[in-house]
Amino acid sequence: MTIYKFPDNFKWGSATSAHQIEGDNNNDWSEWESKNANLKAQKAKEKKWPDHILSNYPNPLQEENYISGKACDSYNRYEEDFDIAEKLNQNIHRFSIEWSRIEPEEGRFNEKEMQHYINVVKALKNRGIEPMITLWHFTNPVWFAQKGGFLNIDSPKYFTRYVKFVVKNLKDQVGLWITFNEATTVYSGHSYLKGLWPPQHTNILEWRRVNKNIVRAHIQTYKAIKEIYNHSPANLESFEVEPQRFLEVQPRDRATSHNVEVGIAESNSFNPSGNSFYERIIGRVYNYYRNLFFLSAAFPYYDFIGLNYYNLDRKVPGSYKSVPKQDWYMEDMGWEIYPKGIWHVLGQLKKFKKPIYITENGTADSKDLVREQYIKEHLKWVWRAIQDGVEVQGYLYWSLLDNFEWAYGFIPRFGLVEVDFKIFERRIRPSALEYARICKENTLQI
Ligand code: IFM
C-alpha cells in the first residue's frame, strides 16, 4: 500500500450544474428537449441496451429520458444535497447559476430567483463548504438564443450585464467564480460544428464566431467582476442594477473587496499522436483547438484554470503507436479511460503559470463497480503532477448526484449519490464513502 499525502489546504468536493439537477428550467435546452424527445426515444429502439440501463427509470426507450423535467429536483432539495456533501467531508462545492432564471426576459432581472441562489450559497457556507460558482454551463435564456446566442456580436454585452447583476449580489459571500464551462472545448463544437446540441448548426464559420464571442465575453466579464470587487459599496450605485441586500450572512475572508478569483473551466482530453512528422503536426493542431484555444486566447485574463478531465481521445493519427488500446471503457459514454492522461494534461497546463482546480473528473457507473478505482487512479496521477510542480489546489468529483446528461438524458449515472428519479430519493453509493475517507484524511492510500 502506498500513501499519497496531498498539500495542506487542498480542497475536496464535487460539482453539479443547474440545468442538470435543478428541475423546471425554461431555457433553450428545455425547448429543444421537448421537440426532440420523441424522435430520440424512437431511435433508441434501434440499439441493443444492456439490462442495467433498461431497468433504470427513465430508460432510453422512454421519451421522458430525454426531458430534463424535474431533474433531481435540487431546486427544492439543495439543503438535503448539501447535508450529504458535508457528511462526505467535502469542503468545496461547484454549482452553476441558471441565467434563464435570473434574466427570464431581456433586461428583466428576477430578484426572487437571485434570492434563491443567495440562499443556496448560505446553505453551503453554513455547512463549512466553500462555493465555487459557474456562471454559464451550456444553457441560454430563450430570448438570448432567439437573438442568435453567442453568434450575436452583442452577446458579450448581454452576458456581462447578467454576470454583473449576479456578482454584485454575491460578492461578499463568494470568492471563486468560473465564467464559462467547456464553452470552446465542448459546447461550440457540439452546437455549431457537429449539430449535436441546440441549435444544431454545422457551420465552421459560425463555430469560429461563437468561440471568438465567448472569449470576448469572458474577458469583459473578468474585468467587470474585478471591478465590482474593487468598488466600495457607495460606488456600486453607478451600476445599472442594484445589488440585493442580505446582511445577515458574514462575509467570507477571501472574498473581501480585493480578493476574488475568476477562472475558466475547460474540458481537456489526452490526445496521443504517432511519431511521424505528419502525425505530430496534426497532433499539435488538434491539441491546440481541443485543449488550449480558450486558455491561450483569454490569457492573462483568468486567475485559475478549471480542468475537466475524463478520457483519452483517439482523433490524432498514430495514437495507438504511443498508447496501446486500453481495456477500460466508460461504456455509457463510449469513452476510453486513461488515468495517466490527467498527469499529461496537467503538465501541459503548467506553462500558463496559473493555479489549477480539477473542476470535473468522474465516471458513469450506475452499479458503482469501478467508481472507487476510477477516483483513486486519477488522484494518484494528480498527486504525481503536484510533485512535478503543477499547482493543483483542489479536486471536485463530477458529480455529486446522478443527473440529466444532456443529449443522453438520464442514461449515464455519474453520481456519488444515486438518485431515484421517480421519488427523488438520494442514496449514497459505497464509492462515495471511500472518497469521503480520502477527503477527510487529505490522503490517498492505494
Ligand atoms: O455532465 C457533463 C458536464 O455538464 C460537463 N462536463 C462533462 C460532464 C459529463 O459528460
Mutate to test the pocket of ligand 1, among 371, 406, 413 (most ligand atoms within 8 A of CB): 406
Residue whose Cα lies nearest atom 9 of ligand 1: it is: 405
134 CA to middle of ligand 1, Å? 13
Distance, in Å, from the CA atom of 427 to the CA atom of 402, rounded to the nearest integer, reads 10
Mutate to test the pocket of ligand 1, among 96, 178, 184, 308 (most ligand atoms within 8 A of CB): 308
Distance, in Å, from the CA atom of 219 to the CA atom of 413, rounded to the nearest integer, reads 34
119 CB-near residues (< 8 Å, 6+ apart): none
Ligand 1 lined by 182 (C-beta under 6 Å): yes
Ligand 1 lined by 22 (C-beta under 6 Å): no
**Of all atoms in ligand 1, which is nearest to the CA of residue 360?**
6
DSSP secondary-structure letter at 273?
A: -
**Of all atoms in ligand 1, which is nearest to the CA of residue 364?**
9
First to last CA, the chain: 5
406 CA to middle of ligand 1, Å? 8
Q: What is the pLDDT of residue 231?
A: 58
Ligand 1 lined by 311 (C-beta under 6 Å): no
Q: What is the pLDDT of residue 184?
A: 97
Mutate to test the pocket of ligand 1, among 136, 182, 397 (most ligand atoms within 8 A of CB): 182
- Specify the CATH architecture of the domain 3-445: Alpha-Beta Barrel (3.20)
Distance, in Å, from the CA atom of 14 to the CA atom of 308, rounded to the nearest integer, reads 12
Residue 68 — φ and ψ, nearest 5°?
Answer: -65, -35
Q: What is the pLDDT of residue 239?
A: 37
Distance, in Å, from the CA atom of 349 to the CA atom of 346, rounded to the nearest integer, reads 5
12 CB-near residues (< 8 Å, 6+ apart): 89, 90, 91, 92, 394, 395, 396, 438, 439, 442
Ligand 1 lined by 185 (C-beta under 6 Å): no
Q: What is the pLDDT of residue 230?
A: 87
**Of all atoms in ligand 1, which is nearest to the CA of residue 403?**
1
Concatenated DSSP letters of 360-372: E-----TT-SSHH
Ligand 1 lined by 17 (C-beta under 6 Å): yes
Ligand 1 lined by 73 (C-beta under 6 Å): no
Distance, in Å, from the CA atom of 91 to the CA atom of 342, rounded to the nearest integer, reads 22
76 CA to middle of ligand 1, Å? 22
Give the domain ranges of the chain. Answer: 3-445
Residue 430: how many other CB atoms lie within 10 Å: 11
Q: Which residues of the chain have pLDDT under 50?
A: 232-257
**Given CA atoms 113, 119, 121, 124 in this order, what sign does their dihedral have?**
negative
Q: In this structure, which amino acid lies at residue 200? A: Q
68 CA to middle of ligand 1, Å? 14
180 CA to middle of ligand 1, Å? 13
Q: What is the pLDDT of residue 260?
A: 97
Q: What is the pLDDT of residue 236?
A: 40
Ligand 1 lined by 405 (C-beta under 6 Å): yes
